Amino acid sequence: MQAKRGTIMNKKDFIKDGLYAKEEYEGLLVSSDLQQGCYQLGVQLSEDKVLVVDQASEDNVNERIQSWVPQIQQIQRQHNVKNNSANYTR
Protein backbone atom coordinates (compact mmCIF):
# COMPACT_ATOMS: atom_id res chain seq x y z
CA MET A 1 0.00 0.00 0.00
CA GLN A 2 1.46 3.34 -1.00
CA ALA A 3 -0.75 5.50 1.20
CA LYS A 4 0.53 8.84 2.45
CA ARG A 5 -0.37 10.47 5.73
CA GLY A 6 -3.53 12.49 5.43
CA THR A 7 -4.99 10.24 2.73
CA ILE A 8 -8.59 9.13 3.18
CA MET A 9 -9.04 5.71 1.69
CA ASN A 10 -11.38 2.76 1.55
CA LYS A 11 -11.04 0.50 4.60
CA LYS A 12 -10.69 -2.61 2.41
CA ASP A 13 -7.78 -1.00 0.56
CA PHE A 14 -6.18 -0.01 3.87
CA ILE A 15 -6.08 -3.58 5.13
CA LYS A 16 -5.94 -5.65 1.92
CA ASP A 17 -2.16 -5.92 1.37
CA GLY A 18 -1.23 -6.76 4.94
CA LEU A 19 -0.91 -10.03 6.76
CA TYR A 20 -2.08 -8.28 9.91
CA ALA A 21 -4.88 -5.82 10.56
CA LYS A 22 -6.35 -4.96 13.93
CA GLU A 23 -8.47 -2.31 15.56
CA GLU A 24 -6.18 -1.60 18.51
CA TYR A 25 -8.54 0.94 20.09
CA GLU A 26 -11.98 1.93 18.93
CA GLY A 27 -11.35 4.00 15.85
CA LEU A 28 -7.61 3.26 15.43
CA LEU A 29 -6.69 0.64 12.84
CA VAL A 30 -3.25 -0.88 12.38
CA SER A 31 -2.35 -2.77 9.21
CA SER A 32 0.93 -4.36 8.19
CA ASP A 33 2.33 -3.03 4.92
CA LEU A 34 4.29 -5.81 3.24
CA GLN A 35 5.51 -3.58 0.39
CA GLN A 36 7.13 -1.06 2.72
CA GLY A 37 7.94 -3.44 5.58
CA CYS A 38 6.12 -1.39 8.21
CA TYR A 39 2.75 -0.80 9.82
CA GLN A 40 0.19 1.78 8.69
CA LEU A 41 -1.94 3.48 11.33
CA GLY A 42 -5.32 4.91 10.42
CA VAL A 43 -8.29 6.52 12.11
CA GLN A 44 -11.62 5.05 11.05
CA LEU A 45 -13.95 7.79 9.83
CA SER A 46 -16.89 5.58 8.84
CA GLU A 47 -17.69 1.93 8.23
CA ASP A 48 -15.65 2.01 5.01
CA LYS A 49 -13.33 5.07 5.22
CA VAL A 50 -9.97 5.38 6.98
CA LEU A 51 -7.69 8.40 7.38
CA VAL A 52 -4.02 7.33 7.21
CA VAL A 53 -2.26 9.10 10.10
CA ASP A 54 1.12 7.43 10.55
CA GLN A 55 3.58 4.72 9.70
CA ALA A 56 5.61 2.70 12.20
CA SER A 57 8.34 0.09 12.26
CA GLU A 58 8.03 -3.11 14.23
CA ASP A 59 10.30 -1.55 16.86
CA ASN A 60 8.13 1.50 17.52
CA VAL A 61 4.58 0.47 16.57
CA ASN A 62 3.37 0.28 20.18
CA GLU A 63 4.81 3.72 20.93
CA ARG A 64 3.16 5.20 17.83
CA ILE A 65 -0.19 3.61 18.74
CA GLN A 66 -0.02 5.12 22.23
CA SER A 67 0.74 8.55 20.78
CA TRP A 68 -2.35 8.45 18.53
CA VAL A 69 -4.91 7.07 21.00
CA PRO A 70 -5.57 10.46 22.69
CA GLN A 71 -6.12 12.06 19.27
CA ILE A 72 -8.67 9.64 17.80
CA GLN A 73 -11.82 11.46 18.91
CA GLN A 74 -10.45 14.88 17.99
CA ILE A 75 -9.60 13.68 14.47
CA GLN A 76 -13.02 12.08 14.12
CA ARG A 77 -14.71 15.33 15.22
CA GLN A 78 -12.67 17.28 12.65
CA HIS A 79 -14.06 14.94 9.99
CA ASN A 80 -17.62 15.17 11.33
CA VAL A 81 -17.72 11.59 12.56
CA LYS A 82 -20.54 10.98 14.98
CA ASN A 83 -19.40 9.05 18.06
CA ASN A 84 -21.49 6.01 17.23
CA SER A 85 -20.15 2.52 17.86
CA ALA A 86 -22.26 1.30 14.92
CA ASN A 87 -19.64 2.91 12.67
CA TYR A 88 -17.16 0.20 13.58
CA THR A 89 -17.04 -3.41 12.57
CA ARG A 90 -15.56 -6.00 14.86
The pLDDT of residue 87 = 43
As a whole number of Å, the end-to-end CA separation of the chain is 22
The residue-averaged pLDDT of 20-32 equals: 85
**pLDDT class of 74 with cuts at 50, 70, 90:** very high
Q: Are 15 and 31 in contact (CB under 8 A)?
A: yes
- In three-state secondary structure terms, 14 is helix
Domain ranges within the chain, ordered by starting residue: 8-81
pLDDT tens sequence across 31-53: 988 888 899 999 999 999 999 99
86 pLDDT band, cuts 50/70/90, is very low
Its pTM stands at 0.82
**Cα–Cα distances in angstroms (integers) from residue 66 to residues 17, 24, 45, 48, 69, in the given order:** 24, 10, 19, 23, 5
